[in-house]
């Protein structure tokens, strides 16, 4: 399938492109790109002083570059900025970043030639994935530069699964290396495409994760014999929140008709907070998720190039501004990271209530033969360790600060770092939820005959047992965790 870019993209469309869909520009979008290029050509012809067009960049912004050197300036910007380090971004992330970059160019204020956009779109269409190191961007520069390397025949890319040089990759998809013209080098490394693409992909993962979190919590709540009165619609409405209402409705629907819940009615005055506050914590995360999605959609609707060009070729305008800085993105990613970390921490606490013989009413550590078997004792350690790591990762990136480029760039918002660690937190949260899901299914095994599961939880329990068997210390438990993590992280929703 293809996503058609006309007026702009949404984060959901960027995530779909990351997952493999292609991107096609409408005639109107192509016309906007071409019009902006004519403005840049007019600026060059008139000798109008413009940052990154006929001047150096960063602290060298007052250094004038003559016309003969402007193409070399564009190439040199790409080469000098391609200094990322660390593990490579996965293909989905690179594709999402490229989609966000094309969306930025399509607004018609960047000034790259249509050929540049066409090359980038060809990368998506023909599965050409530039090698982009994951670390090194205080804002956006290094990630984008590594993609741009392949456009000029440098660097490396993977084409349909085969690693090759940038020049070989272009030849494999029927393209020649680009010779960059004025401003194109700066536009290719500029803007917030990196953070925006990573964030859009994180939103897609987070939505899937939150849906699973609600489902897994329901299976645990049923095993723990929760008191459903806390989730009554009228009771939850006392604290107005779309997220709380959503989670409450989900729990009521999934647990409807549960014999285990009916048997536990009145067993306790109230449940522990890790059970009773599921709508509040999960609901808060859903609310933050919706807010974060709105921020990313605004970013995709924005021009994030510096400088931006406008006007007409007869009356060209160039504007130096700070649209490439994205405090809102960093703050939103930090907020969602905190929300997901809290969801994962609550999951670990619920899981502990299932394995802890002091409160569970179940065999110690859900072991089939406590003593000779350890059951889920150490799986809870793993969940605790991952939850602790998430607490460290949840420290905000957007307040890190830093000074670069000889005091010229003396404020940094770190949106890319914020989006990157959000992915790391989601990775850990997927594993934690997998451990809770596995423990909840094991707990239900010990509750056989105590009451019938609800239809909603029976479907989830069956899905687990289709993938992993009851655990009897008969195999490495880590493999089961990875199996269920893959289930949670996959495209299939919780049934």
Q: How many CA atoms are closer than 13 Å to the CA of 121, on its beta-carbon side?
A: 21
For residue 346, is it left (φ>0), alpha (ψ between -120 and 50) or beta?
alpha
CA-CA-CA-CA torsion for 198, 436, 390, 191, nearest 10 degrees? 10
pLDDT band at 55 (very low <50, low <70, confident <90, very high): confident
C-alpha 186/C-alpha 74 separation (Å) is 6
Rounded to a whole number of angstroms, the distance between the first and last alpha carbons of the chain is: 25
User: What DSSP designation does 451 have?
Assistant: -
Average pLDDT over the chain, rounded to an integer: 93
| 162 sits in which H/E element | strand 162-165
Q: Is pLDDT above 80 for 443?
A: yes
Number of residues in the chain? 495
Residue 24 token pair = 């096609």
Asked about 51 being catalytic, the answer comes back as yes
In angstroms, the CA 91 to CA 102 distance is 17
Element (DSSP H or E) covering residue 334: helix 327-355
For residue 69, CA distances in Å to 53, 65, 75, 149, 237 come to 10, 6, 10, 19, 65
Secondary structure E strands in 37-118: 85-88
**The pLDDT of residue 451:** 95
Residue with the bigger pLDDT between 292 and 323: it is 292
In degrees rounded to 5, what are phi and psi of residue 130? -60, 145
Q: CA-to-CA distance for 387 and 385, rounded, in angstroms?
A: 5
Q: Which residue has the tokens 């907020």?
A: 335
Percent of the chain with pLDDT over 90: 81
Q: What is the pLDDT of residues 19-46, one digit of tens each?
A: 999 999 999 999 999 999 999 999 888 8
pLDDT band at residue 358 using 50, 70 and 90 as cut-offs = very high
Q: Give the confidence band of 359 by pLDDT, cuts at 50, 70, 90.
A: very high
Question: What DSSP state is assigned to residue 404?
Answer: B
- What pLDDT score does 53 carry? 76
The model's pLDDT over 97-122, given as tens digits with 9 standing for 90+, comes to 999 999 999 999 999 999 999 999 99
Distance CA 446, CA 376 (A): 14
**Nearest residue to 78 (alpha-carbon basis) of 192, 197, 183:** 183
Q: Which range scores top for mean pLDDT: 131-145, 255-269, 406-420?
A: 255-269
Q: Tokens in use for 491?
A: 């495209």
2 in helix, strand or coil?
A: strand
The model's pLDDT over 64-96, given as tens digits with 9 standing for 90+, comes to 666 767 788 889 989 999 999 999 999 999 999
70 C-beta neighbours (distance < 10 Å), count: 20
pLDDT at residue 407 is higher than 90 = no
Lowest mean pLDDT among 49-53, 130-134, 144-148, 437-441: 49-53
The domains of the chain, with CATH numbers, are: 2-190 (1.10.275.10), 199-489 (1.20.200.10)
Q: Nearest 10 degrees: CA dihedral of 190, 194, 197, 201?
A: -170
| Angle separating helix axes 114-125 and 91-106, nearest 10 degrees | 150
Return the SS3 of 397. Answer: coil
**Predicted model pTM:** 0.95
pLDDT interval class at 180 (50, 70, 90): very high
| Cα-based angle 309, 183, 4 (whole degrees, multiple of 5) | 65
Percent of the chain with pLDDT over 70: 95
On the question of pLDDT at 59 being above 60, the answer is: no
Give the model confidence (pLDDT) of 447-493 as tens digits.
999 999 999 999 999 999 999 999 998 999 999 999 999 999 997 77
One of 51, 140, 461, 471 is an active-site residue; which one?
51
- Rounded to an integer, the average pLDDT of 407-428 is 86
d(CA 94, CA 194): 9
Q: Which helix (H) or strand (E) holds 163?
A: strand 162-165
Predicted local confidence at residue 72, as pLDDT: 86
């Amino acid at each position: 399938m293809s996503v058609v870019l006309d007026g702009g993209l949404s984060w959901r469309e960027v995530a779909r492109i990351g997952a493999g869909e292609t991107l096609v520009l409408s005639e109107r979008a192509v016309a906007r790109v071409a019009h902006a290029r004519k403005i840049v050509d007019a600026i060059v012809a008139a000798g109008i002083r413009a940052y990154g067009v006929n001047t150096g960049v960063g602290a060298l912004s007052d250094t004038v570059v003559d016309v003969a050197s402007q193409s070399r300036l564009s190439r040199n910007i790409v080469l000098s900025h391609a200094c990322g380090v660390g593990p490579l971004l996965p293909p989905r992330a690179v594709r999402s970043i490229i989609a966000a970059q094309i969306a930025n160019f399509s607004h018609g204020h960047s000034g790259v030639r249509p050929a540049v956009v066409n090359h980038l779109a060809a990368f998506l269409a023909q599965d050409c994935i530039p090698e982009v190191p994951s670390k090194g961007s205080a804002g956006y520069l290094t990630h984008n530069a590594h993609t741009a390397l392949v456009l000029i025949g440098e660097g490396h890319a993977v084409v349909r699964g085969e690693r090759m040089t940038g020049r070989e990759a272009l030849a494999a998809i029927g393209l020649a290396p680009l010779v960059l013209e004025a401003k194109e080098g700066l536009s290719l490394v500029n803007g917030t495409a990196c953070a925006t693409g990573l964030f859009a992909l994180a939103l897609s993962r987070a939505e899937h994760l939150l849906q699973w979190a609600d489902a897994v919590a329901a299976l645990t709540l049923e095993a723990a014999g929760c008191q459903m009165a806390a989730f009554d619609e009228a009771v939850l409405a006392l604290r107005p929140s779309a997220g709380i209402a959503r989670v409450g409705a989900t729990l009521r629907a999934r647990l409807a008709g549960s014999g285990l819940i009916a048997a536990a009615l009145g067993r306790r005055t109230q449940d522990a907070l890790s059970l009773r506050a599921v709508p509040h914590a999960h609901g808060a995360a859903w609310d933050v998720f919706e807010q974060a999605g709105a921020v990313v959609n605004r970013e995709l609707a924005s021009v994030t190039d510096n400088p931006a060009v406008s006007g007409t070729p007869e009356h060209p305008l160039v504007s130096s501004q700070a649209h490439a800085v994205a405090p809102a993105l960093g703050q939103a990613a930090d907020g969602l990271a905190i929300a997901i970390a809290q969801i994962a921490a609550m999951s670990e606490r619920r899981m502990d209530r299932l394995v802890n013989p002091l409160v569970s009413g179940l065999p110690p550590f859900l072991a089939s033969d406590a003593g000779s078997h350890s059951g889920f004792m150490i799986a809870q350690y793993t969940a605790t360790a991952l939850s602790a790591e998430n607490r460290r990762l949840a420290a905000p990136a957007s307040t890190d600060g830093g000074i670069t480029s000889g005091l010229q760039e003396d404020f940094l918002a770190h949106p890319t770092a914020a989006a990157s660690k959000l992915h790391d937190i989601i990775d850990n949260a997927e594993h934690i939820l997998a451990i809770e899901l596995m423990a909840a299914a094991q707990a239900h095994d010990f509750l056989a005959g105590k009451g019938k599961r609800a239809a909603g939880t029976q479907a989830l329990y069956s899905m687990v047992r289709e993938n992993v068997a009851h655990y009897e210390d008969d195999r490495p438990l880590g493999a089961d965790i990875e199996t269920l993590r893959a289930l949670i992280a996959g495209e299939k929703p919780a049934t």
